[in-house]
Amino acid sequence: MDDAIANYYANTAEEDRLAQGAALLEEARTRELIQRHVPAPPAVVLDVGGGAGAYAFWLAELGYHVHLVDATPRLIDEARRRSVGRRPLASSSVGDARALEFPDNTADIVLLLGPLYHLTAGADRANALAEANRVLKRAGWLFGAVISRWASALDGLSRDLLQDPRFAAIVKRDLAEGQHRNPTERSDYFTTAYFHQPTEAVTEVGAAGFRDPRIYAIEGPGWLLPDVPERMRDPRRRADLLEVARSLESEPALLGASAHLLVVARKP
């Protein structure tokens, strides 16, 4: 793992991220998109790059047999701590998305909800996708999350960060190359990552041998609102946020306005 990424997850409370801010919308929509496609439990899930198990524990509670893998030992330790008193995971282990320690044709579902943006080289992403293909059973489902090429530019506009010349330089490189680097001390500027164009993400998944890859905007433009937590607590406003995200999820002209995108595909 890249040193900057390792340091970020060693010192940032990633395990609590989905309970805060616009990530509340991200989590709700990611769950919705996964449930729309997956087979009913029991089925075997490999949650690769799953952090402290936010989605792994949710799926286990639904009756799936979930194996959690992450490259950060601290997050795997946190997942084991959080497993006390809840439905257990099938396993939790430190591992690399590019070299999974599972046999061929093991899983019905593979989640790659982090590796495809933290693997900044195309060859490494191709290796991770090849591994996902290998461990999936025939007709198994892949869910791969990527970050939009335009996420930092929109975040900078929303949070008024563009007056910081360091952030403006980060955005300039993001837009030109998709390569996100944060040389500052500010963890809210994120860490080393690759930001995809939507068509590029679909092409990468298709090139790995998956059938009919489709891409969905996860949050839609709603993540840019300053009061997402308040809206998510209000039933009517929550419903509005989710419905707009749902309505725009496949609109090509607006895909990149979502911070996160989800590629869904099947192994032939």
Per residue in 225-262, pLDDT tens? Answer: 999 999 999 999 999 999 999 999 999 999 999 999 99
Enter the pTM of the model: 0.97
Domains of the chain: 3-148+197-266 (3.40.50.150)
Q: What is the mean pLDDT of residues 104-131?
A: 98
Per residue in 136-175, pLDDT tens? Answer: 999 999 999 999 999 999 999 999 999 999 999 999 999 9
pLDDT at 179: 98
pLDDT at 172: 98
pLDDT surpassing 90 at residue 1: no
Per residue in 18-28, pLDDT tens? Answer: 999 999 999 99
Q: What is the mean pLDDT of residues 117-143?
A: 98
Q: What is the mean pLDDT of residues 184-198?
A: 97
Per residue in 10-62, pLDDT tens? Answer: 989 999 999 999 999 999 999 999 999 999 999 999 999 999 999 999 999 99
pLDDT at 176: 98
Per residue in 192-215, pLDDT tens? Answer: 999 999 999 999 999 999 999 999
pLDDT at 125: 98
161 vs 159: CA distance, rounded Å: 6
What is the pLDDT confidence band of residue 92, given thresholds at 50, 70 and 90?
very high
Q: What is the mean pLDDT of residues 176-189?
A: 97
